[in-house]
């Protein structure tokens, strides 16, 4: 489990984050703190992987508190003040959520954390394996999609078609953003409009790759990388 704390002095804002956390797997809320001293005690006495941190706290601001920590956990800023966004990112926070935080925006931030590269920082401490899924919004619903079920992803300008063993989901997302969410070494981009699951590749021939029963073109600038799969095998 990824252990989280909320550092927030407003009860309503606390409840919003708590409610959103209940919608995702692998995240466990271990403490709710109203100020920096309470948060410091939680960080000192508990194993904490992720901190949801408000900026305007009584006594010491969230950013001052973050700056004081020698080894902070992963941090997502939650605040009602957009003017602090640039300053917040200077502290290498994962994301900056403006209140009121919608579930859609919350899940987008969470997906950054369940990406293997970010999760590895927590997984080393908690002994957890990288997450095996992400959440995708399609037709006003959030669907859990297991990485192992994805055969390929097709780009259509600002939308993607995610083809899985169960169905095809259409979501508002870019190929570049999706690449960041997929586990490294499990997927490969073969064309500006296609990402394929390496485990679903049946054949590579000419300028095409066969994924399950679908033939997908290989872009000129991607061919060397795709052919590298053969060389490695």
Per-residue model confidence as pLDDT tens digits over 193-202: 999 999 999 9
Give the helix ranges, DSSP H, for the chain.
11-21, 36-45, 62-68, 85-89, 103-114, 116-126, 175-181, 223-232
Bridge-based pairing state of the strands 201-205 and 208-211: antiparallel
Q: How far apart are CA 109 and CA 113, in angstroms?
A: 7
> Is the torsion defined by CA of 10, 16, 18, 24 positive or negative?
negative
The distance from CA 172 to its chain's CA centroid, rounded to whole angstroms, is: 15
**pTM for this prediction:** 0.55
pLDDT of residue 129: 45
Taking the chain (233 residues) in runs of 10, the rounded mean pLDDT of each run is 92 95 88 96 92 93 89 88 59 84 89 54 43 77 87 91 93 83 88 95 93 94 86 57
Q: Where does 145-232 sit in CATH, by number?
A: 2.40.50.1020
Class of 2-126 in CATH: alpha beta
Measured from the Cβ of residue 45, the count of other Cβ atoms closer than 10 Å reads 9
Q: Domain coordinates of the chain in residue numbers? A: 2-126, 145-232
List the structure tokens of 133.
């899924």
What Rg, from alpha-carbon coordinates, does the chain have?
20
List the structure tokens of 131.
């997450």
């Amino acid at each position: 489990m990824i252990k989280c704390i909320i550092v927030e002095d407003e009860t309503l804002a606390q409840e919003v984050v708590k409610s959103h956390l209940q919608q995702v797997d692998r995240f466990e809320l271990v403490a709710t703190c109203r100020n920096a001293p309470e948060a410091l005690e939680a960080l000192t006495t508990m194993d904490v992987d992720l901190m949801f941190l408000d900026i305007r706290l009584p006594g010491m601001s969230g950013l001052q508190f973050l700056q004081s920590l020698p080894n902070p956990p992963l941090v997502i800023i939650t605040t009602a003040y957009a003017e602090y966004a640039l300053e917040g990112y200077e502290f290498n926070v994962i994301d900056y959520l403006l209140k009121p935080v919608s579930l859609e925006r919350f899940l987008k931030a969470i997906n950054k954390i369940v990406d293997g590269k970010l999760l590895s920082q927590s997984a080393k401490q908690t002994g957890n394996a990288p997450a095996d899924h992400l959440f995708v919004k399609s037709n006003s619903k959030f669907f859990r999609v297991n990485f192992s079920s994805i055969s390929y992803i097709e780009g259509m300008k600002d939308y993607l078609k995610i083809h899985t063993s169960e169905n095809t989901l259409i979501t508002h997302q870019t190929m570049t953003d999706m690449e960041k969410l997929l586990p490294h070494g499990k997927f490969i981009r073969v064309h500006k409009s296609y990402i394929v699951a390496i485990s679903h590749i049946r054949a590579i021939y000419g300028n095409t790759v066969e994924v399950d029963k679908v033939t997908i073109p290989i872009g000129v600038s991607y061919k060397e990388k795709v052919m590298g799969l053969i060389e490695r095998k």
